[in-house]
Amino acid sequence: MPLADRIVDLSTRPIPLRTLFFRRLFQRWPLGAYLTRLRGGAVNRPHYGWCMYHAAEMAKALGHKAVTILELGVAGGNGLVCLCEHREEIQKLLGIEIVVVGFDTGAGLPPSRDVRDLLYCWPTGSFKMDRGALEKRIAGRAQLVIGDVAKTVASWIPRPEAPIGAIMFDLDFYSSTVDALPLLTKANVLPRVWCYFDDIYGYSENCYTERIGVREAIREFGVAVERDILSDHLSPAFTFKGLQPEAWHEHIYLYHRFSHPDYNICLSRDERHELRLTA
């Protein structure tokens, strides 16, 4: 992009240029507490950190010693490496083990079996992985599950002591997302699972609508699972204490398992339960 166009682009964004500058600065040279930087968007992929932090916080409050965080659609591996970075910060902050697992074919997007997969955006074979290089980067910090997601999701189970707490969905295809959503129906999950769906908003060439791609997979899952629903997380909640509204807020969903035995255990702080008359 020419310099003049870049200046116009940056100076006319909803987020002030000053904010973008300091976010990039604090990403490169972390200053202050992790949670403060996370809330301010001054971390790499704040949506990954947001989902992981709140899942780990819930797991700890319910008495779990560990929690599992998944990325579906690893591709080159930048997202999985980012999860590992957040993992290190959050483990130190909360004192709970975080198990990070990535699912991918290892060979790029699989052959499509449905016209709603949006092949006009992503042809088969896109986003191949350099598996050897990635495994070196994540050694001891994350696991890879390689294969057709329809088969790997069905056979894989989380460790007994580490329920699923958050899932980052980045599979692009409608059909692959349909195959992956049953992860939410596994027995060992938290009562509420944080979900990030990458491919529900995009550029004009994506031509996203409600009945194609990932959006349609989400809709069908919500209809099929009846009481255990996938519900959109209300993005204005992020701005409750003056936080900057972000595009990624609209990508965050929460899966509620109403039948979970821990569903109605109160996890809020005690001071929220009193409203005293002020002077």
In this structure, which topology does domain 44-263 adopt according to CATH?
Answer: Rossmann fold (3.40.50)
pLDDT at 217 over 80: yes
Q: What is the pLDDT of residue 42?
A: 86
How many Å apart are CA 50 and CA 52, to the nearest integer? 6
pLDDT at 22 over 50: yes
More confident residue, 243 or 189: 189
- In angstroms, the Cα distances linking 162 to 48, 71, 128, 176, 209 are 18, 16, 29, 25, 36
| pTM of the complete model | 0.90
| Residue 256, token pair as written in the block | 């509620």
How many Å apart are CA 253 and CA 248, to the nearest integer? 11
Q: What is the pLDDT of residue 242?
A: 55
pLDDT in tens, 117-155: 999 988 888 899 999 999 999 999 999 999 999 999 999
| Listed residue (118, 49, 275, 218) closest to 57, CA to CA | 49
Residue with tokens 């994506």: 206
Q: What is the pLDDT of residue 18?
A: 72
Domain ranges of the chain: 1-31, 44-263
pLDDT at 109 over 50: yes
pLDDT at 14 over 80: no
Please say whether the beta carbons of 252 and 47 come within 8 A.
Answer: yes
More confident residue, 226 or 116: 116
